[in-house]
Amino acid sequence: MSQPTDANLDAYWMPFTANRQFKKAPRLLTRADGMYFTDDKGRQVLDGIAGLWCVNAGHNRPRIVQAIQQQAAELDFAPPFQMAHPKAFELAERLVELTPAGMNKVFYTNSGSESVDTALKMALAYHRVRGEGSRTRLIGRERGYHGVNFGGISVGGMVGNRKMFGMMLSGVDHIGHTHDAARNAFTVGQPEHGANLADDLERLVALHDASTIAAVIVEPVAGSTGVLIPPKGYLQRLREICDKHGILLIFDEVITGFGRTGNPFGAQTFGVTPDLMTVAKGLTNGCVPMGAVIAKQHIHDAFMNGPEHLIEFFHGYTYSAHPLACAAALGTLDTYAEEGLLTRAGELGGYFAECLHSLKGLPNVIDIRNIGLVGGVELSPLPGEPAKRAFNIFLDCWEKGVLIRTTGDTIALSPPLIIERKHIDHIIDTLRGAIQRAA
């Protein structure tokens, strides 16, 4: 196997990466199978983060691989504007069988970021076609992550993703986040305290007037900011306030979708149905880029007016419903169904929580959060060097053959749903040692 040189590492400007550090000591992956990556040195590395929250069925799954291969040989591309191919419709039918009742219209995108921008545009256009064009304001949440397109970073609330990019979209405001370390630290599952935090939306309604607000977008579980679990009753209260004021509620389920919380979608885990739902990642098991927005019937129907030959919604992408992506998604849904993966996080969640919370009491561990098969371990930062302690632990785990993810000074775990108890033990034991060595 040829080894990379300094020259062939230079041209690639890597995303969300400390490029200079990486290129001094590259971490290169060359193969993957099941729960493991293989690096360029031939080492097996246990995947503790499902690739990037996306490889929910594990790596190199036969049904998905075969579906992509067969599709590439049969129909490599079909134009999505004024044309279509059968698998796009088949996949949509399969998806709405899994979604909460009433969410039965699927609009395809190519990523979570595109799904978010699509959902925001849908919300604005929906109110306009209904004669409420004054509803142009979008409400996000502090510490929210909704991808990296301009719409997503505008409603998002992670400072590092926003500060370099100017004014972004106008007419955007944010409710407060749900993290209450003083009352909820080390909670197993959903925190008891904080349903009242949803009432911050009423403050913005009073400030801006409901007649100007189109939609509120939140993640059921805020993942990339450090695994923030919604307090009991919080999402229900948010739903009530949106209904009261005629505001659409959008759930960003790019991370929580496809089994991560123990049900097909977080909406089902928490018992709250949004008006629009964004998905990506686990939709194709990360094999081919794909996303979607899933809408309630009445939102779709509001656009179906006017002459039949005219386009109802002026939006879409060249690669919407790409044949390879649809094939990969169908193979993924087959794999989920055959192996019961969309509920497996509920079955293993108790053991995962027990092991994760066993890290309580280790040096510098200030909070642990979990639900289903996702967990966060928050660390106290090194004085004057935010995020460095967690990054050092990330590097230590990598050297020991386990891949974790860090965001700030929080370690995030979201393993493939095929994980077994022995893998959980391995991840937690490796992380325990790394935390101790970083003390």
pLDDT reported for residue 408: 96
pLDDT reported for residue 1: 47
What residues contact residue 406 under an 8 Å CB cut-off, 6+ apart?
Answer: 387, 390, 391, 393, 394, 412
pLDDT bucket at 2, cuts 50 / 70 / 90: low
pLDDT reported for residue 220: 98
Question: Model-level pTM greater than 0.95?
Answer: yes
Beta strands in 48-171 (DSSP E): 103-109, 137-141
Beta strands in 19-76 (DSSP E): 29-33, 36-39, 44-47
pLDDT reported for residue 6: 59
Work out the percent of the chain whose per-residue pLDDT is above 90. Answer: 98
pLDDT in tens, 115-159: 999 999 999 999 999 999 999 999 999 999 999 999 999 999 999
Distance of CA 281 to the CA centre of its chain: 7
What average pLDDT score do residues 5-30 get? Answer: 92
pLDDT in tens, 225-272: 999 999 999 999 999 999 999 999 999 999 999 999 999 999 999 999
pLDDT in tens, 172-198: 999 999 999 999 999 999 999 999 999
What average pLDDT score do residues 362-375 get? Answer: 98
CA distance 143 to 155: 10
Determine whether 286 is exposed, middle or buried from the number of CB atoms within 10 Å of its CB (0-12, 13-18, 19+). Answer: buried
pLDDT reported for residue 156: 98
Output the CA–CA distances (angstroms, integers) from residue 236 to 219, 220, 244, in the order listed. Answer: 13, 11, 12
CA distance 82 to 210: 37
Asked if residues 118 and 294 have their Cβ atoms less than 8 Å apart, the reply is: no
Q: 117: closest CA among 150, 75, 79, 162?
A: 150
pLDDT bucket at 410, cuts 50 / 70 / 90: very high
Helix (H, G, I), strand (E, B) or coil at 169: coil
Cα atoms in the 13 Å half-sphere on the side-chain side of 276? 28
pLDDT in tens, 26-61: 999 999 999 999 999 999 999 999 999 999 999 999
**Mean pLDDT score of the chain:** 97
The full set of domains in the chain, from first to last, is 6-56+341-437 (3.90.1150.10), 65-336 (3.40.640.10)
Asked if residues 46 and 402 have their Cβ atoms less than 8 Å apart, the reply is: yes
pLDDT bucket at 7, cuts 50 / 70 / 90: low
pLDDT in tens, 319-345: 999 999 999 999 999 999 999 999 999
